[in-house]
Chain A
Amino acid sequence: MALRRYTTIVDGTIPISALLYNDEELLASQDNVGIYDGYQKAIDHQSGAIHVTTHRLFFINTRSPATQSFTMDLSHVIRTDHYAGLFKSSPKVTLFLDANSVSNSGDENHVDARFESWECEVCSYRNPPGLSPAAAQVCGLCGVPRNAVPAPTSQTPSEAPTPLISFPTSSTSLPGTPSRSGSPPHGNGDPDSIACSACTFLNHPSLRICEMCFTTLPTVSQRFEYNKTKSAPPSRPVSPVSTAADPANLLIKLSFRKGGDKALYNILKRALKARVWEGRQIGKVLRNGQSNMGAVSPAGSSTPAFLRTGIGGIIENVNASVKNTETELSDAFQDLEALMVKARDLVQLAAELNEKLNASSTVASTSRSASPLPPFVVPSVASQSVPNSIFAVTSLVPSAEPEEAKFIRSSLSQLGLQMTNAPVTPDMIRDERRWIEELARELAGVLQGTSDDVLGQKPSGIMRQRGIVGLDEVWGGWNRARGVALIPPSTFLQTIQFLPDCTSPPIYNRTFKSGFRVLHTPPFTHASFTARLLGYLMLSEVLTTSQIAQEENITLSLAAEMIEAVEVDGVVCRDDERSAIRGGGGGGSDSELRWSLNTFAEYVWDGQTFD
């Protein structure tokens, strides 16, 4: 903002000495300088040479000198500051700019005017071009200000808006022309008329509000500022940029990437003190007059009354609300960042507190068990172990009060500030127990569906049709049902211990000899299955494993596991088909087992005997 407002573009390909006014002097130069526009780096001006003259500051961009170089009048500078630099931060010179002064479009006008000579009204001396703006206001011979004579007459109709515009024309046209708009336009249309930014109607230059739509018209200065960008048509100024008196808009920083800051800063200060640009008083008066007229200050008390009407008012309102939102948003983000910083502290505090609790509890327990120390000794030991902790005071109480320590720790874990590397202590398990129980309840829902029905016919759930399910299937199904925050196997194994309490009929966990684990309902306990199996075998004498699996509606491997568990009791015995004479497995390992009741426990020899 500051750059745009206070500087004017120059063609950096021209040698610096050719850019100077006749009465201007080059004081110092420095390479490798970057520009900060306000507090932000100006992206397009990051490397260039800075030149200090008696009147101005030049920045010649090394990358694109033709378009990205600029000059700024030293008259804008009200204060300077020097920053020596630290580590990777380069030394910087900050130029605080005058909020009341704007880029002198008048001066800008004189860039053109510089190359025109003018004749003094008083002594008819033909003043040569090329002087600095201030100096150009005064006749070089007699010292009379340039517009001393025309001013009283010409200023009446259009007092302030374009006081300086008159100067270039004054040398060619009549100085006493009543209205500037009356002068013949050069180029396409009247250069003085102001195009409305909303409806593009060309308004009379003395108007500040569009005749058609009441939109605030761009000020002359802004118009000229815009005009110097070559691509835009002269009659279509941009909508007025709100240049609020934001401090960031009022400073420019010069960053000295390769040093040389001190020497240049001293010269700059001297140049500012000398105030060479203030040639005569008149220049300053004019500038002041112009700055008063420029509608750059939105705080102006007279304008808002107009702004609330018409399209202009609407646009203004919208702009204001947008600006409001922006500031609120940035404020909110600042809050968030602050919170993030705080969160780190909070986590650290939690860690400290945990450590504290551990230390105090161990100290307390050892002291209680080992030696009958007086109770007040314990806190002192505890606080000595971590003397710098701010929780040293609070730890005094928990060391004696395990209940409170438990409460603090459980609150911490509920806040998500539980330390992962903290050892699992019984009191933490107690708190975790409730969590596990909750999990068990959830798992019960997954297994049995909505637990409305007591028996069978569950609408959904892994175990709705089956009484026995492998643990791996349950785990996978549960996590699939959860979708997020998956349960690790360790927690799962903890959870299933609580499962019988949450399910009806109760679901138990069972581990077979091979390590295969299942969840099962009461009908699939060992005893019930044994009884059922014996019933089957009583009926059909011999059954294969697959027949039993079919009968029980369970998988083959599961049936084999369960039958083998029964076999351990010795109530059934197997018949391997490998021992068949004809057919059978013929030695294959996958031959089928056939099961029969073990009726031989009480067998008495009934074969051949010898006396």
Chain B
Amino acid sequence: MQLTTHTTPSGFLLPSIHAAHAFFTEQPNPITQNTFVNNWIQLILSYARHRRLFVIRVEDAEVAGGDWDEVLRNERINRRVIPSYLTSLISAMVSRDLAYYEPPKQTRSVVLLWRLPEEWADVLHSWGTATGQINTILTMYEITDPPVPSPLSGIPLSLLRRAITVLTRSGRAQLIEVADGEGVRLLAGGK
């Protein structure tokens, strides 16, 4: 049986390994398991980027019908990722700094870093530059939910703050405390 790639209804090209039964089982052999985990992480991050999904939860493996069904389940071979396996995949991602627990101090839901905070910072800065909002004070809401869709639309607040922190450190943004919240002013300076 030759394993083949498969394109999902959402237009995502699933890798051929996704059609292997063993791919859905945690392997005791560390070498084999490492290969599988690497491919799982790439698959999850690719799909997240494809669908602009920022969060994955253990519930996604427990309950069908979520955003992740196309990846976590393979109806063609009658296989799915069981929750305990997803938990271990999530923790593997966290340990490789490809995700972080959000909210913290729990292990059932993570924010996926298919772009690292540094990359998001660049995206934020270039978006501000492109939209002429340098030196303008922006609220968080204006960034995450702009009237014109942007690459930053729907970004989780915690991830946005990390990106702003990166910009602040390099002098390209300033975090401003206002009465009913906080704002950010993008600065033209920097590298």
Determine whether the beta carbon of A600 is less than 8 Å from that of B25: no
Determine whether the beta carbon of B20 is less than 8 Å from that of A600: yes
A570 CB to closest chain B CB (Å) equals 5
Determine whether the beta carbon of B15 is less than 8 Å from that of A607: yes
Q: Is B85 an interface residue (CB 8 A)?
A: yes
Determine whether the beta carbon of B5 is less than 8 Å from that of A573: no
B109 CB to closest chain A CB (Å) equals 21
A576-589 interface mask toward B, CB cutoff 8 Å, 1 = contact, 0 = none?
Answer: 10111111100100
Closest A residue to B16 by beta carbon equals A606
Determine whether the beta carbon of A600 is less than 8 Å from that of B46: no
Determine whether the beta carbon of B32 is less than 8 Å from that of A603: no
Determine whether the beta carbon of A603 is less than 8 Å from that of B21: no
Q: Is A594 an interface residue (CB 8 A)?
A: yes
A528 CB to closest chain B CB (Å) equals 20
Q: Is B81 an interface residue (CB 8 A)?
A: yes
- Bound together, the chains give a CA A609 to CA B47 distance in angstroms of 10
Q: Is A574 an interface residue (CB 8 A)?
A: yes
Interface centre among B14, B25, B26, B80 (most CB of A within 10 A): B25
Determine whether the beta carbon of B81 is less than 8 Å from that of A579: yes
Determine whether the beta carbon of B75 is less than 8 Å from that of A574: no
Determine whether the beta carbon of A578 is less than 8 Å from that of B82: yes
Determine whether the beta carbon of B43 is less than 8 Å from that of A607: yes
Q: Is A47 an interface residue (CB 8 A)?
A: no
Determine whether the beta carbon of B31 is less than 8 Å from that of A581: no
Q: Is A596 an interface residue (CB 8 A)?
A: yes
A112 CB to closest chain B CB (Å) equals 111
Determine whether the beta carbon of B22 is less than 8 Å from that of A596: yes
B35-67 interface mask toward A, CB cutoff 8 Å, 1 = contact, 0 = none?
Answer: 110010011001101100000000000000000
Within 8 A of A (CB), among B7-30: 12-18, 20-29
Determine whether the beta carbon of B14 is less than 8 Å from that of A594: no
Q: Is B73 an interface residue (CB 8 A)?
A: yes
Within 8 A of B (CB), among A559-601: 564, 567-570, 573-576, 578-584, 587, 594, 596, 598-601
Determine whether the beta carbon of A574 is less than 8 Å from that of B27: yes
Determine whether the beta carbon of B75 is less than 8 Å from that of A596: no
If A579-B81, A579-B82 touch, does A601 touch B42 (CB 8 Å cutoff)?
A: no
**Contact among A542, A581, A600, A608 for B35, CB-based, below 8 A:** A600
Closest A residue to B50 by beta carbon equals A608
Q: Is B130 an interface residue (CB 8 A)?
A: no
Within 8 A of A (CB), among B122-174: none
B contact residues, range = 35 or more
**Contact among A542, A567, A584, A609 for B29, CB-based, below 8 A:** A567
Determine whether the beta carbon of A579 is less than 8 Å from that of B32: no
A585 CB to closest chain B CB (Å) equals 10
Q: Is B108 an interface residue (CB 8 A)?
A: no
A466-480 interface mask toward B, CB cutoff 8 Å, 1 = contact, 0 = none?
Answer: 000000000000000
B175 CB to closest chain A CB (Å) equals 31
**Contact among A564, A578, A600, A606 for B5, CB-based, below 8 A:** A606
Q: Is A87 an interface residue (CB 8 A)?
A: no
B51 CB to closest chain A CB (Å) equals 11
Q: Is A605 an interface residue (CB 8 A)?
A: yes
- Bound together, the chains give a CA A568 to CA B29 distance in angstroms of 6
Determine whether the beta carbon of B47 is less than 8 Å from that of A575: no
- Bound together, the chains give a CA A149 to CA B73 distance in angstroms of 145
Q: Is A610 an interface residue (CB 8 A)?
A: yes
Q: Is B178 an interface residue (CB 8 A)?
A: no
Q: Is A44 an interface residue (CB 8 A)?
A: no
- Bound together, the chains give a CA A21 to CA B106 distance in angstroms of 123
Determine whether the beta carbon of A605 is less than 8 Å from that of B39: yes
- Bound together, the chains give a CA A564 to CA B23 distance in angstroms of 17
Chain B contacts for A596, CB-based, 8 A: 20-22
Determine whether the beta carbon of A607 is less than 8 Å from that of B25: no
Chain B contacts for A575, CB-based, 8 A: 21-22, 24-25, 79
Q: Is A438 an interface residue (CB 8 A)?
A: no
- Bound together, the chains give a CA A570 to CA B22 distance in angstroms of 13
Determine whether the beta carbon of A607 is less than 8 Å from that of B24: no
Q: Is B179 an interface residue (CB 8 A)?
A: no
- Bound together, the chains give a CA A564 to CA B28 distance in angstroms of 9
- Bound together, the chains give a CA A603 to CA B50 distance in angstroms of 22
- Bound together, the chains give a CA A581 to CA B73 distance in angstroms of 8
- Bound together, the chains give a CA A596 to CA B28 distance in angstroms of 14
Q: Is A453 an interface residue (CB 8 A)?
A: no
Closest B residue to A564 by beta carbon equals B28
Q: Is B95 an interface residue (CB 8 A)?
A: no
Chain A contacts for B35, CB-based, 8 A: 600-601, 603
Q: Is A328 an interface residue (CB 8 A)?
A: no
Chain B contacts for A608, CB-based, 8 A: 12-15, 46-47, 50
Determine whether the beta carbon of B29 is less than 8 Å from that of A603: no
Determine whether the beta carbon of A610 is less than 8 Å from that of B46: yes
A167 CB to closest chain B CB (Å) equals 117
Q: Is A345 an interface residue (CB 8 A)?
A: no
If A567-B28, A600-B17 touch, does A579 touch B85 (CB 8 Å cutoff)?
A: yes
Q: Is A23 an interface residue (CB 8 A)?
A: no
Determine whether the beta carbon of A601 is less than 8 Å from that of B32: yes
Interface centre among B14, B27, B31, B81 (most CB of A within 10 A): B27
Interface centre among B1, B5, B29, B31 (most CB of A within 10 A): B29
Chain A contacts for B14, CB-based, 8 A: 607-608
Determine whether the beta carbon of B75 is less than 8 Å from that of A581: yes
**Contact among B1, B18, B75, B79 for A607, CB-based, below 8 A:** B18
- Bound together, the chains give a CA A541 to CA B1 distance in angstroms of 7
Determine whether the beta carbon of A581 is less than 8 Å from that of B79: yes
Determine whether the beta carbon of A573 is less than 8 Å from that of B46: no
Within 8 A of A (CB), among B176-191: none
- Bound together, the chains give a CA A608 to CA B43 distance in angstroms of 8
Chain B contacts for A567, CB-based, 8 A: 27-29
Chain A contacts for B80, CB-based, 8 A: 579-581
Given contacts A570-B32, A584-B78, A608-B50, 7 further A-B contacts (CB under 8 A): A568-B29, A574-B22, A580-B80, A594-B21, A600-B39, A605-B15, A608-B12
List, sorted by A's number, 12 A–B pairs whose CB atoms are closer than 8 Å.
Answer: A567-B28, A574-B22, A575-B25, A575-B79, A576-B25, A576-B26, A581-B78, A584-B78, A601-B31, A603-B39, A605-B39, A608-B47
Residues of B whose CB lies within 8 Å of any CB of A are 1, 5, 12-18, 20-29, 31-32, 35-36, 39, 42-43, 46-47, 49-50, 73, 75, 78-82, 85
